[in-house]
Amino acid sequence: MTTSALNAAQMVAMVETYFAAVDRKDVTGTLACFRAEAKFSIANHDLLYAGREQELRGMYERLNQRYAQVWHGNFTHTVDVAAQRIASRFRVENITHHGEKLVKNNCNFFEFQDGQFISVAVYMSGENSLS
């Protein structure tokens, strides 16, 4: 581990801080969780976004435009402190601008470097809500 490695509680807190920012539609707060060169893949939809400002910002801005409300919760986390990785299983509820609730069950795999996400791999049920 490097001197800037996170412990298990810090890793869980970072993931839940990230999702809280996403749920608030706080793009700046969301992106603060990522390193500048981070990669974000939606593995089961064969998509890859690279670069916090280059591609991730636009992905989150589109998510915020697409839905009136988003919510992530009911988390189950599995942490590997030595590898600085965490797997998070959770429920997603997206509310469309017409009031329809779309429910998903997702699993994300986060890799940390120096206390921020360097890589996130998403496996989501149903339609891709992040394109």
What CATH number has the domain spanning 8-124?
A: 3.10.450.50
Domain boundaries, the chain: 8-124
User: How far does Cα 49 stand from its chain's mean position?
Assistant: 12
pLDDT surpassing 80 at residue 55:
yes
How many Å apart are CA 45 and CA 66, to the nearest integer? 18
Q: What is the pLDDT of residues 16-48, one digit of tens each?
A: 999 999 999 999 999 999 999 999 999 888 999
pLDDT at 3: 59
CB 17 within 8 A of CB 34: no
Average pLDDT over residues 45-72: 95
Q: What is the pLDDT of residues 71-100, one digit of tens each?
A: 999 999 999 999 999 999 999 999 999 999
**Structure tokens that stand for 58 in this block:** 């636009």
- The 8-class DSSP code of residue 105 comes to E
Predicted structure pTM score: 0.93
